[in-house]
Each structure stands twice: as structure tokens, then as C-alpha cells.
């Protein structure tokens, strides 16, 4: 089987249950950002311990994103074919993220100021995933207007919060922005 079909050479791509849209359509832009978020989550997972709780959590998130991308890649005439939890994001999937956020937040003390990302490669990669998920959330607005009953926007919103919580958990001690500013100010005073 060849990976290339040449069908997209005209600037269109196929939808899940038939039909084609431009590669610059809001659905494809959204799915591109979600695909990028999924890849960033995979990169974060690669930096952690195989079989760990974080590994299993991230794998489950990556699987959820396939469900989300399937829903987004379905045209309006075919939405009746979507299956909850398989090709349709459900309220239960959103609730599961809320539970994961709550249990993750119990593992560390909430920072009292903005956190400077980059304490270690794993937490930094989760922060990158968070920013890509936030972009996907912004790109989901046309989709949400077209399909107001969809849970896609809620899922992406909670996922970005979860990525933030996972990053804070994995970084251990937080480097706070106010500490960085204070240190920079002290250095400037010494140099003057």
C-alpha cells in the first residue's frame, strides 16, 4: 500500500464519511493543530518513564485526540454516523479530564505566580503541548459555531489545563517569574 494517493494534489482532502474540503478549511486547520498537539504529547511521553502513570495518562489523551479529530473530520451531512467515545467527543470524556486535573493538582503546591517553563525537558515539552492545544482551541471556534452541541471546544479547554497541571507536576520545584525578575534586577544593580 502506498502512502500517497495524489488525491490531495488539488488542495483538497477527504472527510471521514465522504466528501472533500479545502486543506485550508477550518476543519482541517483545527485537525492540523490537534495533530500537532498529539505529536507534542507523544514527544513529552517519550521523555518519561515507560509504563508510568504519566505514560498511561498521555497515551489515553493521544487516543482521545483521535476521537476528536474524527468528529472534526466529519461533514455536517454525516454527523449522524458519529459514535460517542469512538468518533464523537462526549461529556464523559470532558469530565474525565476534570478528574485528571483535580488529582494531578493534589500532587503539588499551586504556584503563587507565573511559572517560567523549562525546568526540565519533560515539563517543558508538556508546556509546548499546552500551547499547541490552546491554539487548537482557538481554531475550534468556527467548528463550535457550526456544531454548537459539540464537546470539542470543552475538551480542548480542559486538555490545555491538564497539560499545564501535568507540566507543573513533572517540573517539581517551580521557577517563578517574580524570582527571575528579582534576580535580574539584582544583577542590573550590581552592574551599575
Number of domains in the chain: 1
Compute the mean pLDDT over every residue in the chain, rounded to the nearest whole number.
92
Whether the pLDDT of residue 174 is over 80: the answer is no
pTM of the model: 0.89
33-59 burial string, b = 16+ CB within 10 Å, else e? bbbbbbebbebbbeebeeeeebeebbe
Domain range for residue 106?
Answer: 7-191
For residue 2, being part of any structural domain is answered with no
For residue 1, being part of any structural domain is answered with no
For residue 64, being part of any structural domain is answered with yes
Mean pLDDT of 31-43: 98
For residue 15, being part of any structural domain is answered with yes
- Express each pLDDT in 81-106 by its tens digit: 999 999 999 999 999 999 999 999 99
- Express each pLDDT in 133-143 by its tens digit: 999 999 999 99
CATH of the domain at 122: 1.20.1200.10
Using a 10 angstrom Cβ sphere, with 0-12 exposed, 13-18 middle and 19 or more buried, the burial of residue 118 is middle
Name which of 58-72, 77-91, 170-184 the model is least confident about: 170-184
pLDDT of amino acid 9: 87
Amino acid at each position: 500500500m502506498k502512502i500517497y494517493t495524489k488525491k490531495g494534489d488539488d488542495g483538497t482532502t477527504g472527510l471521514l464519511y465522504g466528501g472533500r474540503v479545502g486543506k485550508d478549511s477550518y476543519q482541517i486547520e483545527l485537525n492540523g493543530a490537534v495533530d500537532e498537539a498529539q505529536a507534542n504529547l507523544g514527544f513529552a511521553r517519550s521523555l518519561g518513564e515507560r509504563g508510568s502513570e504519566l505514560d498511561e495518562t498521555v497515551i489515553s489523551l493521544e487516543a482521545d485526540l483521535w476521537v476528536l479529530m474524527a468528529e472534526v473530520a466529519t461533514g455536517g451531512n454525516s454527523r449522524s454516523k458519529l459514535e460517542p467515545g469512538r468518533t464523537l467527543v462526549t461529556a464523559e470524556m470532558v469530565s474525565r479530564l476534570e478528574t485528571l486535573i483535580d488529582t494531578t493538582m493534589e500532587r503539588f503546591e499551586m504556584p503563587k505566580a507565573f511559572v517560567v517553563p523549562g525546568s526540565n525537558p519533560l515539563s517543558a515539552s508538556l508546556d509546548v503541548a499546552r500551547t499547541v492545544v490552546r491554539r487548537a482551541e482557538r481554531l475550534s471556534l468556527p467548528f463550535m459555531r457550526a456544531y454548537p452541541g459539540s464537546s470539542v471546544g470543552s475538551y480542548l479547554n480542559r486538555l490545555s489545563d491538564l497539560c499545564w497541571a501535568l507540566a507543573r507536576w513533572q517540573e517539581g520545584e517551580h521557577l517563578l517569574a517574580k524570582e527571575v525578575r528579582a534576580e535580574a534586577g539584582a544583577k542590573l544593580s550590581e552592574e551599575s
